[in-house]
Every structure is written in C-alpha cells, then in structure tokens.
C-alpha cells in the first residue's frame, strides 16, 4: 500500500511539472496583472480610457480594425520605462474617418498594445509585451478563454507575435523602423 502511495504521489508531481512546463506563454496571472498596470499608465497619460487624446484615424485592416489610430510613447511599469505603441482599433467595416472623429467611443472595438519590457523578458521577440484590451480596459480573450496579454502568439501559427515577426527591420513593427529606445 505504501509503495502505491509513493508511486501515485511521484506521478502527480511529474504530471504537475509537465503541466506547468506546457503553460501558454501568455494569459497567465502575472501577465494579467502587468497588463492592468500598463492600462493604468496609459489612462494616466491620456492614451486610453475616457478623454484619451485623439489623432486623425487612417484606414486599417483585419485583425486590427477598419480605421486605426497609432501612438508612440513610453510607459513605466514596475519601475521599468519602455517604448509603448498604442493602436486604437475602430470598426465596423465601412466606418469612415468622420464617423470615428465624431463618435470615437461608439466605434472603438479594441486597444492593442506593444510595450518593450526590460532586457531579458524575452530577447527572442525584442522583449515586447503584447496586450489586447476591450474599450473599458479589460483584456480581450481568445476562443480558449485565455487573456490576451504577454507573449501572445509566440510559437504559434496565429496571434500577435506570429503576425508581427514578419515585419521588416526585425523590430516587430509594421508602422515604422524608428529607433524607439527609451532612456531609463
């Protein structure tokens, strides 16, 4: 009886380790917490939330939106200041610049973000942290009910990283090849 208990306990320990190792590289509790802190910084900087600064929208495409606004800034989360790209995604298909300018909150579908975290976060992806927020600041979720925050799409055929790894300049940015380094 004792031997069976030892084998069962050992088997459970190994199974637990395997499950932890196979966890997705995004949507974990620490990613959700970090994304909430990043959202708070964006709201404080008027890049998100009610009263956010507005720019002139430009035509977009899936998966982001039919009209977009993109902002380049910096943010500080947990003592680290990094480059921040905020993309507001407007729709539905057929939405016009005038409609977005006239009633942005009625057309905002999501806010997608890239934030360059500290060296060592994930050097393989230039240390980018990815998040997709709904207009109210909650995180969007994928069909498997995982929060879209962290290394979204790493090692997958779809998702933020899977798409953006095809951007020129090896910086994961389609919109610019500017040096976005931020002095800390």
Write the pLDDT tens digit of every residue in 10-28: 333 333 333 344 567 899 9
Distance, in Å, from the CA atom of 88 to the CA atom of 22, rounded to the nearest integer, reads 32
Nearest residue to 159 via CA among 6, 15, 10, 27: 27
Q: Among 127, 147, 128, 146, which residue's Cα sits nearest to residue 137?
A: 147
- Chain-wide mean pLDDT for the chain? 84
Query: Quick check: pTM over 0.75?
Result: yes
Q: How many CB atoms lie within 10 A of CB 39?
A: 24
Give first-to-last CA distance, the chain, whole Å.
Answer: 60
- Least confident interval from 76-80, 98-102, 123-127, 156-160: 156-160
Measured in degrees and rounded to the nearest 5, phi and psi for residue 88 equal -90, 130
pLDDT at 76: 95
Tens of pLDDT along 78-95?
999 999 999 999 999 999
Q: What is the dihedral of CA 10, 11, 13, 16, to 10 degrees?
A: 180
Q: What is the 3-state secondary structure (H, E, C) of 152-170?
A: CCCCCCCCHHHHHCCCHHH
């Amino acid at each position: 009886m004792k031997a069976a208990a030892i084998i069962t306990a050992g088997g459970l320990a190994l199974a637990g380790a395997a499950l932890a190792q196979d966890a997705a590289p995004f949507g974990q509790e620490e990613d959700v917490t970090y994304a909430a802190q990043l959202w708070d910084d964006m709201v404080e900087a008027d890049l998100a939330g009610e009263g956010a600064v507005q720019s002139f929208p430009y035509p977009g495409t899936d998966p982001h939106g039919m009209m977009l606004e993109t902002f380049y800034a910096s943010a500080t989360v947990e003592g680290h200041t990094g480059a921040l790209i905020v993309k507001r995604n407007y729709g539905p298909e057929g939405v016009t610049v005038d409609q977005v300018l006239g009633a942005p909150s009625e057309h905002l579908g999501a806010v997608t973000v890239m934030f360059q975290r500290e060296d060592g976060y994930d050097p393989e992806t230039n240390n980018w942290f990815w998040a997709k927020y709904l207009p109210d600041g909650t995180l969007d979720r994928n069909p498997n009910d995982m929060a879209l925050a962290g290394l979204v799409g790493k090692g997958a055929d779809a998702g933020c990283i899977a798409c953006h790894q095809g951007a020129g300049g090896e910086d994961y940015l389609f919109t610019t090849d500017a040096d976005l380094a931020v002095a800390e």
